[in-house]
Structure 1
Amino acid sequence: MTKFRTLALAALVAPLALGLAACNSAEEEGATEGEPIAPIAAPAGTQWSDVTNVSEYDGYVLGNPDAPIKLVEYASLTCPACAAFATTGAEELRTEFVNSGRVSFEIRNQIHGPHDLALATLVRCGEKEAFHPLADQVWANLQQLLTPIIENSAQVEQAINLPPEQRLVQIAEIGGFYEFFAARGLSADQARQCLAKEDVYTAIAERSQKQSAEFDVTGTPTFFINGNKVDANNWNAIKPLLEKAGAR
């Protein structure tokens, strides 16, 4: 049985519990304290929130790649708490912190089941600059995307038993993902091609497992500031930690 198959079947046992598993947070060292950092100008004619790079951990880094304060979120695209962070904090994080050049914001995927893996593959399918906007769109419309998956869990389980190049293709069909992403610039043909690549989606799942073990990420959202895991999982708690680290 492949790692993907094991992960997928475990997630399907209780699909409604995925959101609960996503709200874990552990007691950690917390963010470091630093002196106020002056804003860092973006290249002429741009702003830092227009800049996206892919990190060595295959996370998508928004903003100044050399920002002195690095915020990393391990996130699941099916996680209600991650959705709450995106809807309450993403705009202020971009405009007030990322655009200042003092803070970069990296999202790394933690996978919570085969439908989550399909979504993670799709937000990575186009240009790297589309990753953060598409992830935000998924979180803003989470109920719409999860409802057909939950209501048709038997069909999702059947899809897992299809040949590897058909599994996520079929899961996306069940969830109505093609129409959703087509309305946001990713064609159905392009989406199907991405989802059919077993090596691509397996690598995403394996990175999720490896990094979760390496960094003790037991649920989402889990945040790190300059490498320190912090005991905070919402914007109201993260914002003062960024300010404490020098983003003020």
Structure 2
Amino acid sequence: MTRRQFIAASAALSALLATPLGRPFALVGDALAQEPSPADLAQAGPLGDVVLGKDDAPVTIIEYASMTCGHCANFHNTVYPEMKKKYVDTGKVKYILREFPLDPLAAAGFMLARCAGNDKYHAMIEMLFSKQKDWVVQNPIPPLLALAQQAGFTKDSFESCLKDQKILEAIESVRTHAADKLGVNSTPTFFINGKLFRGTMTMAELDKQIEPLLKS
């Protein structure tokens, strides 16, 4: 990477990191007195949902996560693979991950996943979670670029993605809707057939919630 290209990529990400999210995280997402409406929960953001599993699966899990959230990374690195194998790949669960960035760096991670395309979205998410300790650092640009290049980005496409204001605004709209309409105020937050669960879940806890729904 030339010095000029490095400076350009640095400037793009630095500009993003200097851009505040729509509202401070501490001010969003009061807990709702009741479960959100099915219509509000079904509403995808401007970029749409990237769905894993069968459309007619009896159970739908929607997860709101942040790419810089350590608990989210722990879930995706330790529990998610087993959940996917046991329930998603067998047609029992439809799984949707939605963006709820806690900071601009988390938004950058989601932006790269979106720019990778729907067919690579989840693979990009999983790679970033598995390498979270490498890029959630004081100077995230070099490691984040290196990971993006492993996913097929060039230096130019990396920079272009992180300058894309429309993608950033779309991700922010998902976050705002979740906070205002669904009561999401922390990550990870799960909705299992509409029922809200805050905080990371173990496989045993997922089994406890999913199995009765498969029998009903």
TM-score strictly above 0.5: yes
Query: What is the Cα deviation at residue 225 of structure 1?
Result: 0.9
Of residues 189, 197, 201 in structure 2, which corresponds to 1:230?
197
Paired position in structure 2 for 1:187: 154
1:73 aligned counterpart, secondary structure? strand
Paired position in structure 1 for 2:91 = 101
Q: Gaps spanning 5+ residues in structure 1: where?
A: 12-17, 19-25, 31-54, 150-171
Pairwise CA RMSD: 2.9
Contact kept, 8 Å, 1:74 with 1:222, in 2: the verdict is: yes
Question: Residue 181 of structure 1: CA displacement?
Answer: 1.2
Residue 134 (str. 1) matches residue 124 (str. 2): yes
SS at match of 2:136: helix
- Given that residues 148 and 176 in structure 1 are in contact (C-alpha distance below 8 angstroms), is that contact kept between their aligned partners in structure 2? no
Task: Summarize the Cα distance change of 1:187–1:59 in structure 2 as closer, same or farther, 3 Å threshold.
Answer: same
Query: Match for residue 56 of structure 1?
Result: 44
Partner Cα distance (1:198, 1:123) in 2: 15
Paired position in structure 1 for 2:185: 218
Please point out which of 240, 243, 248 is paired with 2:208: 240
Say if 2:75 and 2:201, in contact at 8 Å, map to a contact too.
yes
Between stretches 65-74 and 229-238, larger displacement belongs to 229-238
SS in 1 for 2:190: strand
**Residue in 2 that maps onto 1:200:** 167
Report if aligned partners of 1:77, 1:116 keep a CA contact under 8 Å in 2: yes
Task: Indicate conservation of the 8 Å contact 2:22/2:172, yes or no.
Answer: no
Distance 2:92 2:32 in 1: 26
Structure 1 CA distance, aligned partners of 2:32 and 2:200? 12
Matched to 1:56, the amino acid is: A
How high is the TM-score relative to the length of structure 2?
0.75
Structure 1 residues 9 and 211: alpha-carbon distance in aligned structure 2, compared to 1, 3 A threshold: closer
Shift in CA distance, 212/145, structure 1 to aligned 2, threshold 3 Å: same
Q: Could you say which residue in structure 2 is the equivalent of 1:7?
A: 21
Letter in 2 for 1:146: V
* SS of equivalent residue, structure 1 residue 230: strand
**1: CA distance, partners of 2:152 / 2:75:** 24
Q: What are the ranges of 5 or more consecutive residues in structure 2 without an aligned counterpart?
A: 1-17, 36-42
- Is this contact kept in 2: 1:84–1:234, CA < 8 A? no
CA contact (8 A) 2:32 2:182 kept: no
User: Whole-Å Cα distance in 1 between the matches of residues 215 and 81 of structure 2?
Assistant: 16
Match of residue 115 from structure 1: 105
Counterparts of 1:105 and 1:235 in 2: how far apart (Å)?
Answer: 16
The 1:8–1:178 alpha-carbon spacing in structure 2 relative to 1, beyond 3 Å, is farther
SS in 1 for 2:56: coil
What TM-score, normalized to structure 1? 0.66
Q: Given that residues 8 and 114 in structure 1 are in contact (C-alpha distance below 8 angstroms), is that contact kept between their aligned partners in structure 2?
A: no
Count of aligned positions = 186
For residues 2-41 of structure 1, give each alpha carbon's deviation from its aligned partner in whole angstroms, at most 9, with x where no partner exists: xx94428957xxxxxx9xxxxxxx79989xxxxxxxxxxx
